[in-house]
């Protein structure tokens, strides 16, 4: 009898990864590792988080979480988006966020650009995450996508110092000018 390494990892395997300052994720049972984010990345993420909290939490519409937090989409898909909006309180557990949240935000970095835009976004769509936002911290460019069938379609795109309102959440205005370092 031959005993080999597991080919497809699950949440239990993921939970045993020792902390080392890197971000680990599972997509379809494969481990993906990214370096710790830059100060600009963290600043922009924090500033956007405050704006999302002012909308979702102040109105009692949901909760906003920031990385690192485990979003357990399936036993073989565990991700750590930069920001997560949960509108169903039952999704919040001791382990993390269980199931597809209403919105995930990925703040783009040069080292994760392709991974976030292609690999993760395809998996997010396949697993039913209704809204995906991609934010480029250098240009303060925000791209908002909505799930349409099995893929994301653009809802809005803006950059610079604009204030944009998201059509799916009346009154949600994102002030891109506030996202500068």
Reply yes or no on whether the pLDDT at 102 is more than 50: yes
Nearest to 47 by CA among 144, 157, 143, 181: 181
pLDDT digits (tens, 9 = 90+) for 104-140: 999 999 888 899 999 999 999 999 999 999 999 988 9
User: Are the C-beta atoms of residues 57 and 81 closer than 8 Å to each other?
Assistant: no
Reply yes or no on whether the pLDDT at 90 is more than 50: yes
Burial group, residue 32, by CB count within 10 angstroms (0-12, 13-18, 19+): middle
Reply yes or no on whether the pLDDT at 95 is more than 80: yes
CB hemisphere CA count around 6 (13 angstroms) = 12
State pTM to two decimals.
0.93
Distance CA 66, CA 104 (A): 10
Nearest to 103 by CA among 159, 158, 145: 145
Average pLDDT over residues 28-40: 90
Domains detected in the chain: 37-179 (3.90.1570.10)
Under the banding of pLDDT at 50, 70 and 90, the label for residue 4 is low
């Amino acid at each position: 009898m031959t005993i080999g390494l597991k080919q497809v990892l699950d949440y239990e395997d993921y939970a045993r990864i020792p902390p080392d300052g890197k971000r680990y994720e599972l997509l379809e049972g494969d481990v993906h590792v990214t370096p710790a984010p830059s100060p600009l990345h963290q600043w922009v993420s924090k500033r956007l988080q405050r704006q999302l909290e002012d909308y979702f939490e102040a109105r009692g519409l949901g909760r906003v979480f920031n990385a690192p937090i485990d979003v357990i989409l399936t036993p073989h898909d565990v991700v750590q988006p930069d920001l997560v909006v949960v509108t169903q309180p039952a999704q919040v557990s001791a382990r993390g966020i269980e199931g597809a949240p209403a919105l995930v935000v990925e703040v783009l970095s040069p080292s994760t650009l392709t991974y976030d835009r292609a690999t993760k976004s395809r998996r997010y769509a396949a697993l039913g995450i209704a809204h995906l936002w991609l934010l480029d911290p250098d240009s303060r460019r925000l791209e908002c996508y909505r799930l349409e069938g099995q893929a994301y379609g653009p809802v809005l795109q803006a950059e610079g110092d604009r204030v944009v309102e998201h059509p799916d959440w009346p009154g949600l205005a994102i002030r891109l000018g506030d996202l500068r370092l």
